[in-house]
Amino acid sequence: MQTAEIRRRWLDFFERKGHTVVPSASLVSDDPSLMFTVAGMVPFVPYLSGLVPAPYPRATSVQKCIRTNDIEEVGKTPRHGTFFQMCGNFSFGDYFKEGAIRFAWELLTSSEDEGGLGFEAGDLWVTVYEEDDEAHALWRDIAGLPEERIQRLGKDSNYWSTGQPGPAGPCSEIFYDLGPEYGVDGGPATDDDRYVEIWNLVFMQYEIAEVKSKTEFAVVGELPRKNIDTGLGLERVAFIKQGVQNMYEIDQVRPVLDAAAQLAGKAYGENHADDVRLRVIADHVRSGLMLIADGVTPSNEGRGYILRRLLRRVILSMRLLGVEGPTFDRLFPASRDAMKAAYPEVERDFDFISRTAYSEERTFLRTLAAGLQILDGAIEAGRDASVGASGAAVPGDTAFLLHDTHGFPIELTLEIAEEAGVSVDRRVFAELMQEQRDRAKADAKAKKGQRADLSVYKELRGLGETAFVGYDELNHESRVLGIVVDGRPAPSAQEGEIAELVLAETSLWAESGGQDSDQGLIVGDGFEAEVLDVQRPVPGLIVHTAKVRIGTVAIDARAETRVDPDYRRGATQAHSGTHIVHAALREVLGPNAHQAGSYNKAGYLRLDFTHGEALSPETRSEIEEISNLAVRSDYEVVTREMPLDEAKALGAMALFGEKYGERVRVVDIGGPWSRELCAGTHVSGSAEVGMISLISESSIGSTNRRVESLVGIEAFRSFAAERAIVQQLTGSLKVPRLELVQRVGELAAQLKAAEKTIARLEAAKLGERVPELAAGAQRIGPFTAVTASLGSVGSADDVRGLAQQLRERLADEPAVVVLAGEASGRPVLIAATTPSAREAGARAGALAKLGAGVLGGGGGGKDDLAQGGGADPAKIDEALAEIRRALAG
């Protein structure tokens, strides 16, 4: 049974049972505490927790999920994957344990001809929480399972909670027995791989508090509305129904594995280490495909870093299989074809997906080449020099540098080193890795402590959805429904306090869709509050953070929201300007230039877009001109509300990876010239935007660029400031405006020539010291050594040139030259050696590194010539003394 067919049967079954079919949410989670959607229940948390009233009594979904906490286990076990699909059925105060168990048993054991999954009852085991007699009895009565196949387990495995005070409850898990050839008898309680968990039923029925750990908490009572949250692992069911050994061999994953094996010239199933790498490749390519399809692009932080790590692990695994060139052009199309039946968007958006992936591969292959040079150098140095105390030729800090900076897993470093016949200091590497983990853990803990407790908004959201009326009116009278002070509900807020105010309606825009929140006031009888921020902490609820300037604001008070008209005008100019710049970008660069994010506020806009190379000055000017021509043309700006499908049929552009509801707002500027889905505030005609001035264009990743622009009065002020600067320069240089660039160029050329002359004279002056310095050479051990402080010097190049001249003067001797000086307030040190000195054991790189350590910096280089630096010129004499002691030893 194909994976897409299992998915279809799941949705059809629960739809027949009265569940609303909810499409999969994005892999990018709305929950601020989560980077990705990590479980099928994540999109339903506001309903399960009661934070937001559920729009339906029961629902079902097949949710895309990403988890990377067990990434090192991928490929080694039958069921660890970074991307997986969780089938779920949910009840929000509707059916409970009996309904959930009855549905699960019917779907699993009904024949395939009847639309079920066709499992044999004799192959299924269940576990229940050890104190849940009700669930135990239901499984016995509904499923007819014998007592020995209903096992009771403790809180650590069969009790669900978020780890925080709130909803919790026992759960029941369903397992499939693979058979005696896979392990020992005894059921899931044995924790043996023979028993595969395929479905978990969570009975959310209690409120818990005083949470100390997963198993230590206090049950304070039953929930007024009991909920059901279940999750069936689609990939796990698929590998059982398809008769294969693991999730990497199912129809949605195996084609990538086969493509990788063919590229590497390997036969899957012949070598365990190669098989693990092939599974890693198949899993990570699919995860990369789905993440990019949901708008994630590679970067060095957050979600983009996770994607980058997955893609780089693919490249490194292919390299360990012997493939050094590009492979994504074979692997990603294979994954696309395997996934498009379930997710058509991967085929529709494959142009963007492939360009993003291929660009990342090209970039990392170049990085990999640079890292290999470092490793080759460390191996060569390890061969030539005596190894460290650990007996390893490649230092642990070098292995860590390769891992942390260049993305080399330690396995790759070990394999290359082993082929070269040298070892790696694993102990130091492990210590550095642990230090990094400790820092990351401390950072994550700190961030977790900063997250807001959204439960404070639960009752407020229950009072109804906050209506935004600011499209049509800037001032609106409403009523205060709730007040939050210092994270807790309060009956009032006093003068001088900062509070969060929730009103029934508001004319103040809450930050969203790239548009910053409005500025303004909330005023009422005897009070006035200045609005500092407006946000939507949970769907449907608008919260105003405000400082009470006058009087006291209380619950149920009448309150008028007043938007600052100048700020709103600037914000609408910037938001409409964002649409105009986006349209101009696409007109110049082509339809592949998708918007990938934006931010705008009064007088300023920032637009991120997909493009692989920097914009030339001519292209920037063209985009700016088209944007301002659109402003001059005074295009009509029309906003309409309509169903999402209708908007897409009209060609309305959606922000790549963004989520939209069933009804959307479409904004047209000049008809189809700019037609986008957007809920923000806009001008009524493009001429109202005023001037658009592009002030910067930069890279924010291998496939993304960013433009920034000033808009309206801010653009004018910027031009006025530049005009004043030009006037000052023309006055000072006494040239007409049109000749200013030429005159500045001439002055720059004259300055550069003067600097070269000065540098030449200073170098010549230093060169005159060669005889004096050579005459002062000392005999230190087997070496003829010149170690001298030069005082103030022009640059490191001057010191290097002098050291090389001295080395030539002493070429017939085992000479070591170490010179140091102060350049631009910082110490610089150069070491040089002759061939006979190197034969006697002197290494310029090691000497430069030693001296630089005393100077508070770093250094190194080749054995014949090296450089070091630092922060403290006062320690130059001490550094030279340390080098002399090393030579003597």
Structure confidence by residue, pLDDT tens digits, 689-722 = 999 999 999 988 767 899 999 999 999 999 999 9
Amino acid at 578: T
Taking only the tens place, the pLDDT of each residue in 98-132 is 999 999 999 999 999 999 999 999 999 999 999 99
197 strand-pairing partners: 175
The neighbour count for residue 236, using CB atoms within 10 Å, is 21
Split at pLDDT 50, 70, 90, the class of 447 is very low
Determine whether the annotation assigns residue 682 to a binding site: yes
Q: Establish how many alpha carbons lie within 13 A of residue 419's alpha carbon, considering only the half-sphere containing its beta carbon.
A: 8
Q: Is the pLDDT of residue 475 over 80?
A: yes
Taking only the tens place, the pLDDT of each residue in 228-243 is 999 999 999 999 999 9
Average pLDDT over residues 328-349: 95
Q: For residue 593, count CB atoms less than 10 angstroms from its CB and return exposed for 0-12, middle for 13-18, buried for 19 or more.
A: middle
Amino acid at 165: P
Determine whether the annotation assigns residue 544 to a binding site: no
CA 754, CA 762: separation in Å to the nearest integer? 12
Q: In this predicted structure, what is the pLDDT of residue 663?
A: 87
Sign of CA dihedral 399, 400, 405, 407: positive
Amino acid at 257: L
Q: Is the pLDDT of residue 386 over 70?
A: no
The continuous run of DSSP H or E covering 59 comes out as: strand 58-66
Q: Which residues contact 677 (CB under 8 A, 6 or more apart)?
A: 647, 652, 653, 654, 655, 658, 660, 664, 665, 666, 667
Split at pLDDT 50, 70, 90, the class of 388 is very low
Q: In this predicted structure, what is the pLDDT of residue 815?
A: 95
CA 200, CA 811: separation in Å to the nearest integer? 78
Average pLDDT over residues 17-31: 91
Taking only the tens place, the pLDDT of each residue in 616-665 is 999 999 999 999 999 999 999 999 999 988 998 888 887 765 667 778 99
- Residue 624 zone, left/alpha/beta (φ > 0; ψ -120 to 50; rest): alpha
User: Among 304, 249, 227, 273, which residue's Cα sits nearest to residue 57?
Assistant: 227
User: Among 202, 171, 158, 174, which residue's Cα sits nearest to residue 48?
Assistant: 202
Query: pLDDT higher for 762 or 502?
Result: 502
Average pLDDT over residues 868-878: 92
> Average per-residue pLDDT in the chain?
90
What's the predicted TM-score (pTM) here? Answer: 0.71
Amino acid at 598: S
What does residue 267 show for φ and ψ, rounded to 5 degrees?
-110, 115
- DSSP symbols for 387-453: P-TTS-SB-HHHHHHHHHHH---HHHHHHHHHHHT--B-HHHHHHHHHHHHHHHHHHHHHHHHHS--
| Tokens found for residue 501 | 């105010």
DSSP letter, residue 65: E
Average pLDDT over residues 841-850: 93
CB 786, CB 816: distance < 8 Å: yes
Q: In this predicted structure, what is the pLDDT of residue 389?
A: 41
706 strand-pairing partners: 608, 698
Split at pLDDT 50, 70, 90, the class of 162 is confident
DSSP letter, residue 32: T
Domain range 454-562, its CATH number among 2.40.50.100, 3.40.50.300, 2.60.40.4070, 2.40.30.130: 2.40.30.130
Indicate the fold that domain 769-888 takes in CATH: Diaminopimelate Epimerase; Chain A, domain 1 (3.10.310)
Query: pLDDT higher for 603 or 213?
Result: 603
Q: Is the pLDDT of residue 449 over 50?
A: no
Q: In this predicted structure, what is the pLDDT of residue 453?
A: 59
Average pLDDT over residues 773-777: 90
* CATH number given to 568-719: 3.30.980.10
| Tokens found for residue 98 | 């009996």
Q: For residue 199, count CB atoms less than 10 angstroms from its CB and return exposed for 0-12, middle for 13-18, buried for 19 or more.
A: buried
Determine whether the annotation assigns residue 284 to a binding site: no
Taking only the tens place, the pLDDT of each residue in 556-602 is 999 999 999 999 999 999 999 999 999 999 999 988 888 888 999 99
Split at pLDDT 50, 70, 90, the class of 383 is low
Taking only the tens place, the pLDDT of each residue in 793-833 is 888 888 999 999 999 999 999 999 999 999 888 999 999 99
Q: In this predicted structure, what is the pLDDT of residue 446?
A: 52
Taking only the tens place, the pLDDT of each residue in 484-503 is 999 889 999 999 999 999 99
Indicate the fold that domain 3-244 takes in CATH: BirA Bifunctional Protein; domain 2 (3.30.930)
**What is the Cα gyration radius of the chain?**
34
Split at pLDDT 50, 70, 90, the class of 860 is confident
CB 778, CB 790: distance < 8 Å: no
Q: In this predicted structure, what is the pLDDT of residue 334?
A: 97
